[in-house]
Structure 1
Amino acid sequence: MSGTLYGLGVGPGDPELLTLKAHRLIRSAGVIAYPAPDTGESFARAIVAEYMPDGATEIAIVIPMRSERFPAQEVYDSAATEIAQALEAGQDVVVLCEGDPFFYGSFMYLFSRLSDRFPTEIVPGVSSLGAVTAAASQPLIAREEVLTVLPATLEESELERHLADANAAAIMKLGRHFGKTRAVLDRLGMTERARFVSHASLPNQNVCPLSEAPETAPYFSMIIVPGKDAHV
């Protein structure tokens, strides 16, 4: 009998935001996989490090963190092969996912490669969007307003088109696209009600009006534009 694959959301960073189910599965895991940069430590692993059992086998899915393109499909093909070997041997495999596995989560690439061959369970986690609105103490949408979630990696014209039609918006994956995003929001007259949040739920969390945000933004940051009915 094969093992079960768990796509496990570990939340935005604060270990206390782990679900009880996530905590239980990590404590009993024999094999734990997680995304990791090619330099530095894995953020997903760091969130749960104190709960990982001694002797657990670790599979680091090394993803280069640089602007130029890299063979992403090969990275996930290789990781899926290693995880499949453990599953075929009857071992359960817990894959740690920052935030929620299916909200811009890289676990979807392993899911597409493995879920038709092995029992798979998704364990939802606190998403970055929930953490950011909580950190900002800011309701995002109300009544019949519609929320638009956008990656800042879109072309500037596409970003502007979507935002022009939005009641309320959350813009993710800022990093080197921060300046472009700010310029678009300025042109659309949305800066005044926009909020900037970085490292939500962590000790170095930063929350401020977008007009007072720093010149650069880390990847783990977001801009929220509350709907007019929800703005406080």
Structure 2
Amino acid sequence: MMAIPGRLYGIGVGPGDPELLTLKALRLLKAAPVLAYFVAKGKKGNAFGIVEAHLSESQIRLPLIYPVTTESLPPPLSYETVIADFYDTAAAVVAGHLDAGRDVAVICEGDPFFYGSYMYLHDRLAPRFEVEVVPGVCSMLGGAAVLGAPLVYRNQSLSVLSGVLPEDELRRRLADADAAVIMKLGRNFEKVRRVLDDLGLAGRALYVERATMQNQRIVPLAEVDPMASPYFSLLIVPGEKWQG
């Protein structure tokens, strides 16, 4: 007799502070027979570090190890092709456990559907299996909290932008924004800072690295070393204050 397929859980574990794990995430995490997590080769991974203390010895740990961690690859390699093949393989591995009747919890730093790696498994597996997604505190909200920066007042709108955008496009979108969060900085930092200076927004912009983590750093925009801005960094341009 064929096993009843397991259920897939996409679980957001928050931006770094273990206490920002939700009660629902913790309950499902502890109950799952298989815990899957994305990680770079030779690393433990931030998401795994957040939940490690809550795991039991009986749970199967399923690391999904990235083949590359940079989008810059020598020809003829294509990052898009390499990473798409990786997600195909990772989905097949997870599906093997689900087909065997084991529930799988895939943990994801922040929120699964907000720049979360989980979404690439979701797109591949949700048509075939029962799925539940548990939202998590995303990095931009963790950043706003530690910076003490209300994001949007009253009827303002918030733009979430990628620092990878071409400079002209980034300038256009920021010029039209009431408030903005800029992510994916890293090597794009100097370009982003230049655009903020050009638009006269540098005075409002706030920068944080690894928000809510133990090694969190808040640095004045002008003092950020563009060659040392880590992946887990973001910029917030809060909305203009409104005295309600």
Mapped partners of 1:230, 1:130: distance in 2: 20
Aligned to 1:229: 241
Q: How is 1:136-175 mapped onto 2 (pairs within 5 angstroms)?
A: 136-175=147-186
Aligned to 1:178: 189
Aligned residues: 231
Q: Which amino acid aligns with 1:197?
A: V
Mapped partners of 1:199, 1:230: distance in 2: 29
Aligned to 1:86: 97
Structure 2 gaps of 5+ residues are 73-77
Aligned to 1:46: 49
The alignment's TM-score, normalised by the length of structure 2, stands at: 0.91
**Does 193-202 or 57-66 show the bigger shift?**
57-66
Q: CA deviation at 1:230?
A: 5.4
Aligned to 1:59: 62
Contact 1:146 1:166 survives alignment (8 Å): yes
- Please state whether the residue corresponding to 1:193 is helix, strand or coil: coil
- Counterpart selection for 1:213 from 208, 221, 224: 224
In the TM superposition, structure 1's runs of 4+ consecutive aligned residues that sit over 6 Å from their partners are: none
Percent identical residues: 48
Mapped partners of 1:213, 1:83: distance in 2: 40
Structure 1 gaps of 5+ residues are none
Say what the alpha-carbon RMSD is for the aligned residues: 1.4
- Counterpart selection for 2:106 from 95, 99, 107: 95
Contact 1:3 1:86 survives alignment (8 Å): yes
Deviations 1:13-71 (A, max 9, x none): 11110001111112122101111012422111111111111132122222221232431
Q: Which amino acid aligns with 1:220?
A: F
Mapped partners of 2:180, 2:86: distance in 1: 32
- Counterpart selection for 2:17 from 11, 14, 19: 14
